[in-house]
Chains A and B, each alone.
Chain A
Amino acid sequence: MIFNSEISGQQQHTTSPVVTGGSVIALVYNGGVIVGTDTLCSYGSMAAFKNVQKIAQISKNTIYASSGEFSDFQQVVKELAKIDRSALQYDDGVHPSPKDYGNFLARLSYKKRCKINPLYLQNVVAGFHNGERYLALVDIYGTYLESNFITTGFASYFCKAIISNYWNENCTLDQAKQVIRECFKVLFCRDCRAHDVIQLAYVDEQGTHIEEQERVDTKWDFNGFKFRANEKLHTQ
């Protein structure tokens, strides 16, 4: 798989991302895996694209989301779709499992990293196959980690406490959704590049379900805000 920049000889290396997506939070629950992202793509500190679906369905039982450079996200979605298309050529009814996608992405990321031209992403691959839940993180270096819960970006700093207090791997779908909503609420308050509109998607035995975007509950009518109780205004 050759990128155009390599053919033209003008090798450019991704040194910093331009259009970026925020944190991804993914949890395993009793009967499936759920992934949540916000719907914002930032252009530096500008909230440029506020209605973006950042969770892609790769196959009937696999979904993919990532934080980082959004054009790399789009490219990865194309590359993962290519794998299943090649299955059509062989005509044998064998389709990649979620784990195949996860490992392929790890190999791809590692290859790019070795050329000092990484896919500037923290990737999350989630799926449900043969009765087993699958959730993996592939980072910018090509590190591959399977886990019961994954957080990328700022969620790794703010949300792990919430997840460890309110979630376990056998909770219900609704409980898992509530935990993710709570996490994004905190992220919206504390992460400058976060957005209050989020999207959830889950994979279970029946397949993939990507939900409509929803706004996180936020509360701004604190007395402190309303009456500026803690501030000394120069007019007073």
Chain B
Amino acid sequence: MEMDRESGKLEQIVSQFRSKILHVILDSRVPSLHRQQQESLSLSRVRKTDKWFNLVLGDRPPALENLNFSLRNLLDPMVIDIILIRHGSCSSSVDNLYAPSAAAAGPSTETVIERWVVQYDCPRVFATPSGADAAVFYKKIYKKCILLLRSLYSQMRLLPAYRICRQLSLLSQTYNFDLVYKVSSFSHPFSREEEDGMKEYSFTPVEALPGCLCVSVTYRATLSDFNLEPLVSLPPKIITDYVGSPTTDPMRSFPSSKTGAHATSFPSTGLRPPSSAPFQRPHSWSSGFHRGFPPTKTQSLAGSPPAYCTSRKPYDITSPPTDLYGNRIQNHRVSTLQQATAYDEYKLSPPFSTSASPSTPTYLSGANPLLTRHCSETAPVTIPLTGRSTRYLSSNSSDPNRHSLPPLSPRSSKHDASSQESPSGIRSYRKIEGLRAGESPSGLSNLYSAPKVVRDSKDDSGRFSGLLSSSGSPRIGFSRSSSRLSFQDDIDDCEFSCPFDVDDVDVSDSSSRNTESKRASEFTAQSNLVGKKSQDAAVGILVHMLRTAPPLRQDSSCYSTHSLKTEYDGGAGVASGFFLPRKTADALEELNSYREMKDLLLSKSATQAVRKEGKK
């Protein structure tokens, strides 16, 4: 009994040690994670997992849990390859960057630039210490693990790969390379060519049972041979056929311009397939040029740390070391069993498959969506407004009516409260929809519990954030929910300055008719008063009318130009109840009518001014 308890302690130390190492490595080699880590480290809360080895690292990447699961056999080595992907030389023309196919980017080459190996070495069998000796023994091991982690943390920042990770984590530029990682329990040996440019360093092993815990790294001493450079920035281009709001009907056709370019509206929901029209130009709001993951505010990876919860739950992480020698060790095996059922359903990006044994490599990427964009749809990204992110923190995420947009993906819609989709733009995060599950208030306790069914993770390499499913992770979604809701907020409440980018009218026939009649009558009254106002006021009125005008095209209702023309007759115009589908020609005609009205008003005011002067 006591032996089991002792071995359980050691197993826990080793397991947490491996998790921590993986966390340190991924945080400093995966650009998107690195960005988040820097942000999350500034937050003051320290969670229980942070206290392991006295090193606060911030939120654990959601992928970590599944990776830990896949490598749960502690005797198996854990091999982490950091792979540099260089995109083939291609023209830096705008067209190539718009091209959806990977072939346009040229062939990519992959090079392992770092290999970290964590394994037991020199396995031996000897008696497990017990009693007071055991306590001293475990403290010693633990202290050495702390020291090793400290030096690992520093070392990560001194190796060449750190610099390029930093470059990639900055969103200001795109590059002709990317960093991905692979975690597995075996590794293909390097070829002689590969070994030539590599150095090796081994940290001093930590004596533990049943052997010594060894951490070593084989790394490229220099990356200057790889010709890593930023991509040519896009030349500025004036959008002549700007279509306005992301919620505009994506299937709408536009008149072709002289250049032949056609605007294509990207569905914000991602439900509709891309238009069959040739890929011409993404809209200005599309996420086509983001690298890694879009800005962290919208990012639903491990963002802000969860609320610190001191209550103990069945699958709670075991207390940190000071409590380690008490008798409160949680049994992680129960949670891992649940993970087993969930894990088979989870599909990582290739080459990983569901039938994988624990030794199957897990190939994941913190990649630039330029790599994977052709495989997935992009979506418009709304521009978040400041000051709104915390407005709806406690909110109505469970209220489906709140969303004016349909869910991002059909699979995600299977979740109820747990998979509230982010509105509009964050299309690339549909992988991360699983993360938003689990807005449960239990906070920390369920944080690393067995994830439930992982669903929305099938596609998209590089979205390891999608590994975490479901409702198992409550407060990881804390900041994501707030940012997600802030987007909802933005869509609903903010006033856009552009007159054509508001599409917040979702009215039925009757309501639009009332609107038209009101508008028509308003116009009549206004036309009588305009003569007394200045020209500026007339223009202002006109602008206001244009702004509040309903969209050019509506599904079930629309204007009729006849209603407007009656105004010219001077009668009390009443909008006719006759609604026709609108076309561009109608819109142009309406615009012309507005112009005529404006001229009329101006002429009237001018004549009235002349008359007044004449009377004087």
Does B associate with A? no
Interface on B for A, CB 8 Å cutoff?
Answer: none
Interface on A for B, CB 8 Å cutoff?
Answer: none
